[in-house]
Amino acid sequence: MPVVTCRYCTEGYRDLPFPFDDIGLGREGEPASLDMEHEMSFEGLVGMLRSWSAVATAKQQGVDLLGERVVKELEEEWGGASLVRKVTFKAFLLAGTPRADD
């Protein structure tokens, strides 16, 4: 089931069955799209990446996807450990009310 959930997310929830009457905040096939801006430190980025289930699962199985070398490369690409950047997260919204029984 996680693969299906991931597919919904990567496709912006456009294919997610949504058996509710829309209330103007997205509808089935057309979720509302939001850009959420956030100031993020490099430490925050690494913390976010480490919280991802795939990274945590790999670590539990002895594979460190965010080892010292990878974190150092990320830090260089980020522009240094002290740099704070503005990042934008995409969010999608579907809101509705239960459909009346026919």
Taking a C-beta distance cutoff of 8 angstroms, is the pair 76, 19 a contact?
A: no
Number of Cβ atoms within 10 Å of the Cβ of 31: 21
Mean pLDDT of 79-88: 97
Mean pLDDT score across all residues of the chain: 90
Domain ranges (residues) in the chain: 2-97
Q: CA 42, CA 46: separation in Å to the nearest integer?
A: 6
Pairing of strands 96-98, 84-93: unpaired
Q: Could you read off the pLDDT of 1-47 as tens digits, one per residue?
A: 445 567 888 888 888 888 899 898 998 999 999 999 999 999 999 99
